[in-house]
Amino acid sequence: MPPLLTRRHLLAGAALGAVARPAISRAADRPALSHGLQSGDVSGESAVVWARADRPARAVIEWATTESFSEIRGGVFVDALPESDLTVKAALPGLPPDQEIFYRVHLQNLAEPALRGTPLVGRFRSAPALPRDVSFCWSGDTVGQGWGIDADRGGMTIYAAILGNRPDFFLHSGDTIYADGPLQAEVKLPDGSLWRNLVTEEKAKSAETLQEFRGNYRYNLLDHNLRAMNAAVPILAQWDDHEVTNNWWPGEPLTRPEHRRKGYAEANSLVLAARATRAFHEYMPMRFEPAEPGRVYRKIAYGPLLDVFLLDMRSYRGPNGANDETEAGARTQFLGPAQVAWLKRELTQSRATWKAIAADMPLGLVVPYDAETKSGSEAVAQGNGPPLGRELEIADLLRFIRDRDVRNTVWFTADVHYTAAHYYDPDKARFQDFSPFWEFVSGPLHAGTFGPNALDDTFGPQLRFVKAPDGRQNLSPAEGCQFFGHVAIEGATRRMTVTLKDAADTALWHTVLDPV
């Protein structure tokens, strides 16, 4: 490991006088951090930090418990190389619990290590070992439906609103990018004004190559609001469909009319998914599973009050067909057997008061697979009635949660581009073998606003709140119908307060849940 940069090193360099001055003058040779910093998957003992260099370089990462870095508690180096698109990720183990952690990243020129770039500093708080107040925000869907970064309108301002809440972490519920959503330079709005997108080469077409998928992540990180949030708020990331292409399923032939309009040269979605998976893991500050390198589902333990179970409703599903099978099988899989077994095991072993199940799609909303023909099922629900198709897997899971007396499960999701609160009531359901639970929907973060979707009565969802477009669809972010949710758990009472908010940080609706 290279020597850590300390005040002693800086003073020694100054004492060298003329020897140090030639290096100082060579600013163009100094590598720079190009897209800010990120942290993620924070627990009580570890976290993952992320950065990207503007050229091949060595990233030196240090952490401390004070912003002055007067005592550096640990450090690591990672080489930023073209093979990873110059991104670096590193785990910081051995963190003290419930502690403000400051991390600093600087780059070294590989050919001349004495040439160092300007460091950047990020921060996060590690999870507590004892009960304390905990909060997080969640939402999904960034840069979709043609709405990119309009600098004249302040960029993606909803991320500034999230940062203003100072949550312990932000849960991104999928559609972290719109790889299949190219941008135009200008879009005329209903009031006659223009939405002016920043457009890059990779955002001018639907992504197919690895470089184009990477470019979609780089595009989002051009926004100053997102970079500011990333530097101060850790992210728990999951994915949905637009990280690859709209409504894809593993093995889907790219033959639908929308695929032809997007001009895909490849014949199957798995080719795109392989490249998209690599880009997603390169750019998201999440843990790496050596046994399954592309794995997205995982549990994040955030102290005695909260465990977060991040699901992957995309990678293990069967085809997006009619979804009307009466018996479980390969075509009815949504989470898949391995993930369901993992979730059951982890839920029963959890000792946290609240079990937050982060699902990239809602359980009880009907989402058509083919938007043009309104046919097939993209999500779980397929229409009113007893469980069929993918609902069989969810029915089995909900029955298991009840039978094993797993308490205080709450579902958080996005995907449908509006905000809502659903209370699942077995007394009003066609399938009744489960305990009641809440599902909260939020989004989009910075994309077109749609909805509302039809509710399916299979699991008895009762609509307690909704805010969605009134007639018009694909509302631009300029109209303010962008949404996120805020969750606050009180350390003393263990109560959970869920608040649905808009981009202006206005509280639209809230409820208080008591643990049982």
pLDDT, tens digit, 9 for 90 and up, residues 472-511:
999 999 999 999 999 999 999 999 999 999 999 999 999 9
Select from 372, 158, 139 the least CA-distant residue to 246.
372
**Rounded percentage of the chain residues whose pLDDT exceeds 90:** 91
User: How would residue 5 be classed by pLDDT, with cut points 50, 70 and 90?
Assistant: very low
Predicted pLDDT at 373: 79
Q: Are 482 and 416 a contacting pair, CB within 8 Å?
A: no
Quote the mean pLDDT of the chain. 94
Mean pLDDT, rounded, for 293-303: 95
Predicted pLDDT at 250: 97
Neighbours of 160 (CB within 10 A): 18
Tens-place pLDDT, residues 86-133: 999 999 999 999 999 999 999 999 999 999 999 999 999 999 999 999
Q: Report CA-CA distances (Å) from 344 to 3, 221, 335, 364, 438.
A: 46, 36, 12, 20, 18
SS3 64: strand
Sheet of 354-358: strand order equals 298-301, 306-310, 354-358, 409-413, 437-441, 419-424, 461-467
Enclosing H/E stretch for 479: none
Residue 497 CA, distance from chain mean position: 21
SS3 344: helix
Q: Are 3 and 9 a contacting pair, CB within 8 Å?
A: yes
Would you state the structure tokens that stand for residue 136, as one six-digit string?
């997080």
Predicted pLDDT at 36: 98
Mean pLDDT, rounded, for 422-448: 98
Predicted pLDDT at 372: 79
Would you state the structure tokens that stand for residue 108, as one six-digit string?
């070294």
User: How would residue 288 be classed by pLDDT, with cut points 50, 70 and 90?
Assistant: confident
Q: Is cis: bond before 444, omega within 30 of 0?
A: yes
Residue 22 has pLDDT above 50, yes or no: no
Tens-place pLDDT, residues 147-200: 999 999 999 999 999 999 999 999 999 999 999 999 999 999 999 999 999 999
Tens-place pLDDT, residues 314-366: 999 999 999 999 999 999 999 999 999 999 999 999 999 999 999 999 999 99
User: How would residue 293 be classed by pLDDT, with cut points 50, 70 and 90?
Assistant: confident
User: How would residue 12 be classed by pLDDT, with cut points 50, 70 and 90?
Assistant: very low
Backbone angles phi, psi at 486, to 5 degrees: -125, 135
| Domains present along the chain, CATH in parentheses | 7-125 (2.60.40.380), 134-513 (3.60.21.70)
Predicted pLDDT at 20: 38
How far is it, in rounded angstroms, from Cα 274 to Cα 296? 14
Q: What is the pTM of this model?
A: 0.94
Residue that is written with structure tokens 């619990």 in the block: 97
Predicted pLDDT at 7: 32
Residue 15 has pLDDT above 50, yes or no: no
Would you state the structure tokens that stand for residue 247, as one six-digit string?
């409504």
